[in-house]
A and B are shown apart, each in its own frame.
Chain A
């Protein structure tokens, strides 16, 4: 059944929209803050005394469903002490073009050595550039930034969080 009146109402709606401000977030200029548990690119962490947290156990590589982590361990020696444990990761590589950012490596790690950070702009022109070596992953300790303004997030709070 055709409803001409409702169609005319639709025209009024589209016309009114013309005078509203667009809600588009202009991406490269404005970067939306990420969620607290956002899973971006990985970071390797060090202890306060400068030793690496990673002990080269390869549990992250075992947990990885995309098989994108490569760990080659070596023994710590008194003159070359890298990590706090018995061994350290001589090679630690993550192939970012394979990674699915599931965060299982983070869960598997017994020493909280690897975490997923907030960075999401990791496009490259070459696939080779997407293999992150240990030095790149160690680069700087991440700073978790708590949500400043909850109103920025337009998704509703889940039912189970408000009713429990």
Chain B
């Protein structure tokens, strides 16, 4: 499966990718604040460095220097572990996402992904499910009613939308005839980008991703204008920062997954730019997320649940069934 790639190349790649994802996260926050600002006729951050470009670094320094308090009644080990779980799963999920075709460097073959796993898609969703534990444990271990209720709300939302998320990619799996993300991308490069035949699946996936990363208009877990912060009420400093990082990294990872599944990963419509196409597509998707945040007001909780179970789930199911029938009929 690793095409004769020595193990230490994977390790180096993992180091590079983790840092690149963290950098992308930092500048996603900058991009979000800047775009939101301009959409609301404000400037956004413009004080730290030119165009506020040093703002993420300033934020990081501020968060790290803050006191790492925790509540007297909190379960210490779990309270500390929760943000780490959230962060770890968010970062680990990027391992299976292919970003290039692979290169020949000197006399080593370097793959265009960190781990070429034959069940990459399932691994990704499994990691996402483990990530929910970060929210559950964090809220419960804080020993605060706000946190507990917030984590219950978060779990209900994440678990509901995970169903639609997994079902919506079933069509892609059937068309790509593989759970391996590299093969799915190659299939798209050879035939057609899957967002054309799988338009319904793509839309369901997109909505589910917004809910899964708890971004507006599905940001009920935080609902910053209505409630106390939710499951991370009792967190401060860099521990809170880890939760926030996990959320943004999840957004980037799931955008990258959407690019992989529906927009042919590193393949471009023309010019073989490889990873640049991948980065460009992820950037466009992230910008669309931010655009949605600026445009749509938050849903009510019952609307959220109704949308998840009564709209997304049936559409995803019907889409999967029709795709299955068509695939069988074609062969």
Contacts and interface: CB of A to CB of B under 8 A. Distances in A.
Contact of B295 (A14, A20, A24): A14
A110 interface: no
Interface in B17-68: 35, 37-43
Contacts of A17: 38-41
A20 B41 CA distance: 7
Nearest to B307: A2
Interface string A1-36: 000000100110111011011111010000000000
A24 B294 contact: no
B291 A22 contact: no
B296 A10 contact: yes
Nearest to A12: B295
Interface in B277-327: 291-292, 294-296
A7 B297 CA distance: 10
Interface residues of A, number: 14
B39 A22 contact: no
Contacts of A14: 39, 291, 294-295
A11 B42 contact: no
Contacts of A20: 41
A18 B41 CA distance: 8
Contacts of B38: 17-18, 22
Residue among A7, A14, A18 with the highest chain B CB neighbour number at 10 A = A14
Contacts of A21: 41
A4 to B, nearest CB: 11
Given A7-B296, A10-B296, A24 B42 contact: yes
B291 A11 contact: yes
A69 to B, nearest CB: 38
B37 A22 contact: yes
Contact of A18 (B39, B43, B292, B296): B39
A24 B45 CA distance: 12
Contacts of B43: 22, 24, 26
B40 to A, nearest CB: 7
Contacts of A7: 295-296
A54 B292 CA distance: 61
B248 to A, nearest CB: 21
A22 B41 contact: yes
A17 B291 CA distance: 11
Given A14-B294, A17-B39, A24-B43, 6 more contacts: A7-B295, A14-B291, A17-B38, A17-B41, A24-B42, A26-B43
Interface of B: 35, 37-43, 291-292, 294-296
19 contacts: A11-B292, A13-B295, A14-B39, A14-B291, A14-B294, A14-B295, A15-B39, A15-B291, A17-B38, A17-B40, A17-B41, A18-B35, A18-B38, A18-B39, A22-B42, A23-B42, A24-B42, A24-B43, A26-B43
